[in-house]
């Protein structure tokens, strides 16, 4: 489907790399249209288990590494407004609900986005993802109906298709595949293994399914009232 221009897009995810896996192509396409995109990344993923073998990072150096990776990924996606929100990785689920909702509400009030991209609550797998999605949905639910931005929700739990059906929003991002790959590569500490596997399989003539480099899909989150 063809992307329509947006006033402003707010992307909210808890971990550096969530945005690249789910939305790098979509973000790049919107940026190429001149749409302003703000990425609020809630943590620095500093509790990531992957310190490398041999280790490329220590527990102390990982946040700085991931901060720099995130900045590089944003360059690949064309994001000029990156907000590092300073929450702690793996503790987002324990944050006070109202504090989380306020964080999102403040961003909405400042930026007046017409579209928000985040996870779909109930289908986001990781507790930090779920907590992020719940806060975004609650912040938008509290708005006047006419003023609510649309929500593109990323769902990837195993039961997603069974429960939610086929995603209605499907973006062909093949024209910006190189930017998506560059964004993924920028998150080197998290994605190096995957990129190595991709190359390895290509060399053996059994490339991995190309679809997730070429297609990004979303559900439109809707409210009952
Ligand atoms: Zn994540």
From ligand 1's centre to the CA of 203, what distance in Å? 29
From ligand 1's centre to the CA of 80, what distance in Å? 21
From ligand 1's centre to the CA of 115, what distance in Å? 20
Looking at residue 192, its pLDDT comes to 84
**Helix, strand, coil share of the chain (percent; to 5):** 45, 15, 40
Ordered per-residue pLDDT tens for the chain, 225 residues: 789 999 999 999 999 999 999 999 999 999 999 999 999 999 998 887 666 666 777 777 888 999 999 999 999 999 999 999 999 888 899 999 999 999 999 999 999 999 999 999 999 999 999 999 999 999 999 999 999 999 999 999 999 999 999 999 999 999 999 999 999 999 998 888 888 888 777 777 776 666 778 999 999 999 988
From ligand 1's centre to the CA of 118, what distance in Å? 11
Q: Helix (H, G, I), strand (E, B), or coil: what is residue 157?
A: coil
CATH of the domain at 17: 3.40.50.10320
Euclidean distance between CA atoms 144 and 77, whole angstroms: 32
- 16 found inside a domain: yes
- 4 found inside a domain: no
Complete DSSP assignment for 38-105: EEEE----TT-S--TTTTS--TTTHHHHHHHHHHHHHHHHT--EEEE--PPTT-GGGS-HHHHHHHHH
- 202 found inside a domain: yes
Asked if residue 107 lies in contact with residue 142, where contact means CB atoms within 8 angstroms, the answer is no
- 3 found inside a domain: no
- 2 found inside a domain: no
From ligand 1's centre to the CA of 149, what distance in Å? 23
- 42 found inside a domain: yes
pTM of the model: 0.93
In our burial notation (b when 16+ CB lie closer than 10 A, e otherwise), range 67-101 reads bebbeebbebbbbeebbbbebebbebeebeeeebb
From ligand 1's centre to the CA of 151, what distance in Å? 18
Looking at residue 202, its pLDDT comes to 76
How many other β-carbons are positioned within 10 Å of the β-carbon of residue 158? Answer: 9
Looking at residue 56, its pLDDT comes to 72
From ligand 1's centre to the CA of 167, what distance in Å? 20
From ligand 1's centre to the CA of 127, what distance in Å? 9
| Structural domain that includes position 142 | 9-220
From ligand 1's centre to the CA of 43, what distance in Å? 10
- 206 found inside a domain: yes
For 124-139, what is the HEC assignment? CCCHHHHHHHHHHHHH
138-178 pLDDT, tens digit each: 999 999 999 999 999 999 999 999 999 999 999 999 999 99
Looking at residue 60, its pLDDT comes to 79
From ligand 1's centre to the CA of 129, what distance in Å? 6
20-34 pLDDT, tens digit each: 999 999 999 999 999
From ligand 1's centre to the CA of 18, what distance in Å? 5
Tell me how many domains the chain contains: 1
């Amino acid at each position: 489907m063809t992307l329509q221009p947006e006033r402003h897009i707010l992307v909210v995810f808890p971990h550096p790399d969530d945005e690249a896996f789910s939305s790098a192509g979509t973000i790049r396409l919107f940026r190429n249209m001149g749409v302003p995109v703000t990425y609020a990344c809630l943590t620095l993923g500093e509790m990531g288990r992957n310190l490398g073998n041999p280790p490329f990072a220590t527990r102390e150096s990982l946040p700085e590494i991931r901060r720099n990776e995130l900045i590089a990924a944003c360059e690949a996606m064309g994001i000029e407004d990156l907000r590092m929100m300073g929450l702690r990785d793996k503790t987002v689920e324990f944050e006070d609900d109202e504090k989380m909702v306020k964080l999102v509400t403040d961003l909405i009030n400042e930026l007046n986005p017409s579209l928000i991209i985040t996870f779909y609550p109930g289908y986001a797998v990781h507790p930090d993802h779920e907590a992020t999605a719940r806060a975004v949905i609650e912040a938008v639910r509290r708005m006047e109906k006419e003023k609510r931005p649309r929500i593109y929700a990323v769902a990837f739990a195993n039961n997603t298709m069974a429960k939610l059906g086929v995603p209605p929003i499907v973006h062909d991002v093949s024209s910006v595949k190189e930017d998506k790959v560059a964004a993924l590569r920028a998150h080197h500490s998290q994605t190096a293994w995957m990129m190595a596997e991709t190359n390895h399989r290509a060399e053996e003539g059994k490339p991995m399914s190309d679809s997730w480099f070429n297609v990004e899909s979303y559900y439109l989150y809707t409210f009952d009232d």
